[in-house]
Amino acid sequence: MTKQTLKVVKIGGNVINNEEALFSFLKDFSELDGPKILVHGGGRKATEVSSAMGLKPQMINGRRVTDEATVEVVTMVYAGLLNKKVTAKLQSFGCNAMGLSGADANCILAHKRVVKDIDYGFAGDVDEINSEIIDVLLKNGVTPVFCAITHNKKGQLLNTNADTIASEVTIGMSELYNTELNFVFELKGVLESIDDKDSVITEINAEKYEQLVAQGIIADGMLPKMHNCFNSLKKGVGKVKIGDASLVKKSTKLYTTLSL
């Protein structure tokens, strides 16, 4: 029996924080054929809300330190405001979406990150994806919309990197579907030159990736994103693409495709 293709799309804060861009993207996403899953972050909004509440966000190496107060804020913002905002907009386009955190239906089980050099607080690292329950939703025409909140099955909510959630969900669904992982961010793809927004490297395999890292073309914030991409491919994901919000349009031709 031929497997269906499942598309998992992760959108970054640059899309979520721009009403016009979000509206356009979600309309295009809703028109994608076949089963699909959306994953979103929302760190910028969490920082705004934290600051408004008198909390000072603490970031180390670009990652948020999640203390007890912060885990409450990010849960309110990610699993509440942003998740329901995205879900409601998808419903307006006729896409029957369901907003979820990892705790809902035990979809994503994680553990509190083990402290090595840095204590990130209630940051979560994914252990398990409940592919069977996610498959039930997909088979009933429901599009899951996951935020960046997981849980440890002991009552503790955890703040988990949205790129990682997208990667792990796609890996977890690969036994049931032909999976495609799409990372949507502010650029058209991986660029040859950061000063030329159209200098997209259209295809990158594992060998070329190592060369680009050595040359310093792939660096900083792109490194963990690319690590998630290649980790996904090694663990059964069929295709990975990186591009801007137009990535989900059928007419889009400029983006980066990754392969082993």
Coil/strand/helix, residue 122:
coil
228 is in an annotated binding site: no
What CATH architecture does domain 5-258 belong to? 3-Layer(aba) Sandwich (3.40)
Compute the average pLDDT of residues 146-175.
96
Looking at residue 184, its amino acid is V
Residue type, 41: G
Work out the end-to-end distance of the chain between its first and last CA atoms, rounded to an integer number of angstroms. Answer: 26
175: left (phi over 0), alpha (psi -120 to 50) or beta: alpha
Q: How confident is the model over 41-74, as pLDDT tens digits?
A: 988 888 899 889 998 888 887 678 899 999 999 9
Strands across the sheet containing 157-159? 124-129, 108-112, 149-151, 157-159
Does the pLDDT value for residue 170 go beyond 90? yes
- Domain positions in the chain are 5-258
User: Quick one: pLDDT at residue 130?
Assistant: 98
- Structure confidence at residue 208 (pLDDT): 94
43 is known to lie in a ligand binding site: yes
pTM: 0.94
Helix (H) or strand (E) holding 127: strand 124-129
User: What are the structure tokens assigned to 17, written together?
Assistant: 């924080």
Average pLDDT of the residues in 77-96: 97
pLDDT in tens, 225-234: 898 899 999 9
Site of tokens 């000072």: 56
